[in-house]
Structure 1
């Protein structure tokens, strides 16, 4: 057969089969807000102490986009748990990352220095020991609750995000701030029993933490998702159906002062926007 004839035969043959596309590799890291602790059902094959939900925002994102998810988020996690196992049966969270990881989502920082839990305990205790005082927690603790966020949490966040980028240099790294736990002012009693004057004091602490997250993202080239504005009016003092955060008392799930299913959906929605914007820029 002449070369031209052979070329004609080849040209009219069936097209070569396209290589099967692989799902995008996606890793979720972080604490109980990232794990969706308290939102049922619990993700199968996870360590029970982590309270990881199969309806947390990363599972919603992976299902929506068809990504292959590795979720190592765990309730109670600090940035230290990125580097060493938090519980028997867990691994250092950063070990989930590989050079081929293409998307990483994170929520972390609220447990560093016991920021959220410690402040909540301190302010509830201050109200109980100083009944009638308008802002006993602020009077007793002043800047001592916010200072560790600047001196300890912020550099830890910068280091953690830098190490994520080092392990997964191709990845789009998204870190979310925390949604509002409390309203900007007014009483939240009895749902969250702290003095009315300490409500803005606690909001200021959360704003300080969220700003540390934002600045760490900016410094390391990660994408920051701000949950403050979108969660206004969705705090733990609001009624069922309106709130994204469950209250301390009368919570509708076993882990109070954490996002409920609507809160995890809201986190997924905002992160999906960030993913879409990035894909539009790079596509």
Structure 2
């Protein structure tokens, strides 16, 4: 039986309204998904040291507009974005001075932390300036610290985050391998020292990932993202020794932030 002209018109009107409401619902859902309240915590690998374009207001924390938190925020336009990561930060610095913006409305948190606690800056300085044996000794001491002491410090940070932001999805981000073993470097550290440093990064990532998982947090690894772009490759995404600005040594470049850290965080966020 054919619909009358009036009935057909009414039916079409109902369909139009229904489709409009559906479209509005989809748009609202998309807006809500993009409206995260995001807080970026952590050390220099999160603040963006080595990437340049630092926010002058961040002072010695050296927060870069090219760091992955700023890049993610620019791409997703969250309802709020607080960037408290700071160069040189240790676990105690996170708990004492970075957690202020966290609240029950925070729904996304990123953090990289632990490298400074383990003394990686001292490791790299010793490896560059002194003998291979000194380098290997420093690496061994750092790995021992990562195994014995760092887990408890990470637990304290992760518990503090959960206490202040109980509804947040927390993404813990790891560290890269620094060197391509057997790569293009013809001077500097021996491959033995380079392998030991990479191994220490693996140890740090393993411990960090385990502690993150035990707290129900996601872990975003970046080793694979930097593969082919380590120091001693033709297109490194990590600074080697920067004699004119030593603090930027062994940190991701802007390409490392956008090409490795940002994708890793985006997948886990």
* TM-score class, shorter: 0.7 to 0.9
Contact 1:113 1:153 survives alignment (8 Å): yes
1:144-163 correspondence to structure 2 within 5 Å? 144-163=141-160
Cα gap change, 1:37/1:169 in structure 2, threshold over 3 Å: closer, same or farther?
Answer: same
Whole-Å Cα distance in 1 between the matches of residues 212 and 152 of structure 2?
A: 11
Mark the runs of 5 or more structure 1 residues left unpaired by the alignment.
1-16, 85-91, 128-134, 276-283
Aligned-residue offset at 1:250: 7.3
1:28-107 correspondence to structure 2 within 5 Å? 28-46=40-58, 48-67=59-78, 68-84=80-96, 92-107=97-112
Are 2:147 and 1:136 aligned? no
Q: Deviations over 1:224-254 (max 9, x none)?
A: 0011122122112223xx2111111578997
Whole-Å Cα distance in 2 between the matches of residues 108 and 162 of structure 1?
A: 14
The equivalent of 2:222 in structure 1 is: 227
Whole-Å Cα distance in 1 between the matches of residues 136 and 109 of structure 2?
A: 40
Cα gap change, 1:145/1:186 in structure 2, threshold over 3 Å: closer, same or farther?
Answer: farther
The equivalent of 1:126 in structure 2 is: 130
Mark the runs of 5 or more structure 2 residues left unpaired by the alignment.
1-23
Cα gap change, 1:243/1:186 in structure 2, threshold over 3 Å: closer, same or farther?
Answer: closer
Give RMSD over aligned pairs.
2.8
- 3-state secondary structure, aligned to 1:175: strand
Whole-Å Cα distance in 1 between the matches of residues 179 and 111 of structure 2?
A: 22
The TM-score with structure 2 as length reference comes to 0.81
The TM-score with structure 1 as length reference comes to 0.77
Structure with more helix by fraction: 2
The match for 1:24 among 24, 30, 36 is: 36
Q: Which moved more, 1:61-70 or 1:179-188?
A: 179-188
Whole-Å Cα distance in 2 between the matches of residues 142 and 169 of structure 1?
A: 36
